A and B are shown apart, each in its own frame.
Chain A
């Protein structure tokens, strides 16, 4: 699981807005019993994948923002090979905590939706730390 990013920030009203482009290379496996089998066993209807950013700011001890999600149905390829993806959702902070924030952790997680039964939330191994610059980007328009 690997991600590469570039980023810019821009203030909107009073909250920081971050922009990230990313690549995802992933192979979703079922890690049960130490074996690495396909995640789509007989009781898996679909996976809800999401890329979330986790970080701390002066305002809030913990922030988590879902930047992108994808529904993977049973039968789809469990391998992801995405490049130059833009975030699906705006990355607003609750305040101005993105500016100069050196440690934004991006992780890929998924919600396993069974045909019937328990709904587990799994976090993928492998995550990427992203720093935001100290200054706002004023030249580009989005």
Chain B
């Protein structure tokens, strides 16, 4: 007696030819969903790690890329900085801080050269880039002569050279960013689990 063997996961039988097509289409779709879910999991994990870093370091941006040469020769454009921003860490002269000027989005990495702290802990401080001739007063907001704790994104605690260049390239050459995303998208669709 001849028995037609059924393939795994196939639906109502419509004859052998339709069977194969139906199976292939369904298997591809399921695999595709699986790949997309896999990818989404990787993205979620990365986001969780990033958020976790924000919590652990107390900084809204625990990893920043150096954008200018104002701290050379210590840091160059494209270097990566690791920041902490613990509330109880006092700001002291000589420390490298990353701060944002009110109203501007771009973080600046410079050194603290002057601090005046009141008894109650209120502190005002002045910064200057190692490679700059003058202090940062010209960079602050109109009429602003000092920075305050609230302007600080974090204190630079560690650094890696060159690694941040990828972000700068993606910013300066958006085509590169899209190409990278396209490659990643293609990888997701094409990759098969053996």
Contact = CB atoms under 8 A, between A and B. Distances in A.
Interface of A: 45-46, 48, 50, 52, 54, 59-66, 69, 71, 73, 89, 94, 109, 111, 113-119, 121
Interface in B101-138: 111, 113-119, 124, 130
B24 to A, nearest CB: 50
Interface of B: 73-75, 92-96, 111, 113-119, 124, 130, 156-161
Contacts of A52: 93-94
Contacts of A115: 161
| Top-9 shortest CB links A-B | A64-B93, A61-B119, A66-B113, A62-B117, A94-B116, A60-B116, A113-B74, A64-B115, A52-B93
B96 A71 contact: no
Nearest to B162: A116
Contacts of B157: 118-119
A66 B94 contact: yes
Given A71-B130, A117-B159, A119-B157, A62 B74 contact: no
Contacts of B94: 48, 50, 52, 66, 109, 111, 121
Interface of A is mostly: strand
A62 B115 contact: yes
A110 B55 CA distance: 29
B96 to A, nearest CB: 7
Given A111-B94, A111-B96, A121-B94, A63 B116 contact: yes
Nearest to A54: B93
Contact of A61 (B111, B118, B124): B118
A109 B115 CA distance: 16
B74 A46 contact: yes
Nearest to B131: A71
Contact of B159 (A46, A48, A63, A114): A114
A114 B79 CA distance: 12
Contacts of B161: 115-116
Of the candidates B93, B117, B119, the one having the most CB atoms from chain A within 10 angstroms of its own CB is B93
A122 to B, nearest CB: 10
B116 A48 contact: no
A53 B120 CA distance: 21
Contacts of A65: 93, 113-114
Given A52-B94, A71-B130, A117-B159, A45 B74 contact: yes
